[in-house]
Amino acid sequence: MATKEELAEVLWVEKYRPRTLDEIVDQEEVVAALKEFVKNKNIPNMLFSGPPGTGKTTAALCLAYELYGEKWRTYTLELNASDERGIDVVRTTLKNYARTRVVGEIPFKIIILDEADMMTSEAQHALRRTMEKFADISRFILICNYPSKIIEPIQSRCAVFRFKRLSLEAIKERLRFIAKNENIDLKDDGLDAIIEISEGDLRKAINLLQSVAYFNKPVTRDLVYRTAGVVFPEHVDKLLKLAFEGKFEEARKMLLRILTEEGVSGIDLLRDIYSAIARNSLPLNVEDKIKLLEFIGEVDFRISQGATDYLQLSALLALISDLGAKYRKSSH
């Protein structure tokens, strides 16, 4: 039996996950189709694609629950393909489960492959053969963010359902519901901060709310940003403004402080800088804005390949400083 401490660590993502298809919001077309499958007690192989945190895995689990009832786990195998993505897993674990017959009203079992786009090409080809061989007694639900990474033979054997990004109001409503049930003092500015940081990913938003709630304080914008390890947008704007005005050394000192004292990763800061430029925090013409965004993409690649965050971001600030000098010259 789980201890009180273990129960306290249960992720709210699981605790507040919808249990039936009727509880899933903002995915009306997908839910309507899945309900028809439940009504007919038969489903095809399916491919769920869309942004993270939009309910793909939840929809698959709700479908299994509505088909099999309380014993749904007996007839459902859930694998995370990003961890178990090799051909050996397909040939052993998955194949052994797919070949077993079930007894009951519904003559097939469900195999859910989460993050299927992380599977190797060899594993996907082996999976295709398994899908063909056991089509009468097994149904597959593949879940991915990037359907283009799923080989065409698998896509052609699946009914494809695309999940759209959740509306901000739907995310807010769910977070308010959780906050009310957990007795959390969720302030409006704190809620807006969680929405801004999570970028439409409900799973990320719930996890962030849980992290902030451990402080047993009112959830404010300041607390959310400090807990998430994300730079305040106004600090990013100030960093860019210093560089653009030619105060390069001040900008570099601020950059170093953000990376060391605030513990922000270089890749996260780079994304914040991209967002700031995209919302026109610098007075750039279209040509210079394109040039700057291209360089940000190059810096992103360099950092992802192991380059030093501080050096690459300093180079970015140097480019912004050069652009600012051009604009200062033209104004005189």
The CATH number covering residue 246 comes to 1.20.272.10
Looking at the structure, do residues 13 and 130 belong to the same domain, yes or no?
Answer: yes
The band of 6, judged by pLDDT with boundaries at 50, 70 and 90, is very low
Domain-terminating residue out of 228, 243, 260 = 228
User: How far apart, in Å, are the Cα atoms of 323 and each of 81, 289, 302?
Assistant: 45, 10, 22
- Nearest 5°: CA angle at 113, between 109 and 119? 140
Residue 332: inside a domain = no
Count CB atoms within 10 A of the CB of residue 63. Answer: 26
Sign of the torsion formed by the C-alpha atoms of 92, 96, 98 and 99: positive
Percentage of the residues of the chain whose pLDDT score is greater than 70: 94
pLDDT one-digit tens code per residue, 244-298: 999 999 999 999 999 888 888 899 899 889 989 988 888 889 999 999 999 999 9
Looking at the structure, do residues 41 and 156 belong to the same domain, yes or no?
Answer: yes
What domain range is 186 assigned to?
170-228
Domain-terminating residue out of 138, 162, 186 = 162
Percentage of the residues of the chain whose pLDDT score is greater than 90: 58
Q: What is the Cα–Cα distance from 110 to 87, expressed in whole angstroms? A: 20
Looking at the structure, do residues 135 and 53 belong to the same domain, yes or no?
Answer: yes
Q: Say yes or no to pLDDT of 25 above 90.
A: no
Residue 331: inside a domain = no
Looking at the structure, do residues 153 and 294 belong to the same domain, yes or no?
Answer: no
Predicted pLDDT of residue 82: 59
Domain-terminating residue out of 178, 208, 228 = 228
Two structure tokens written together for 308: 């030093």
Predicted pLDDT of residue 93: 78
Closest alpha carbon to 230 in 249, 260, 258, 195: 258
Q: Report the relative pairing of strands 109-114 and 138-144 from DSSP bridges.
A: parallel
The band of 214, judged by pLDDT with boundaries at 50, 70 and 90, is confident
Predicted pLDDT of residue 104: 78
Q: Say yes or no to pLDDT of 85 above 70.
A: no
Q: What is the Cα–Cα distance from 43 to 64, expressed in whole angstroms? A: 10
pLDDT one-digit tens code per residue, 111-126: 999 989 888 888 898 8
Residue 21: inside a domain = yes
Predicted pLDDT of residue 142: 94
The band of 10, judged by pLDDT with boundaries at 50, 70 and 90, is low
Looking at the structure, do residues 11 and 108 belong to the same domain, yes or no?
Answer: yes
pLDDT one-digit tens code per residue, 144-201: 999 999 999 999 999 999 999 998 999 999 999 999 999 999 999 999 999 988 888 9
Number of domains in the chain: 3
The band of 219, judged by pLDDT with boundaries at 50, 70 and 90, is very high
| Average pLDDT of the chain, as a whole number | 88
Looking at the structure, do residues 139 and 18 belong to the same domain, yes or no?
Answer: yes
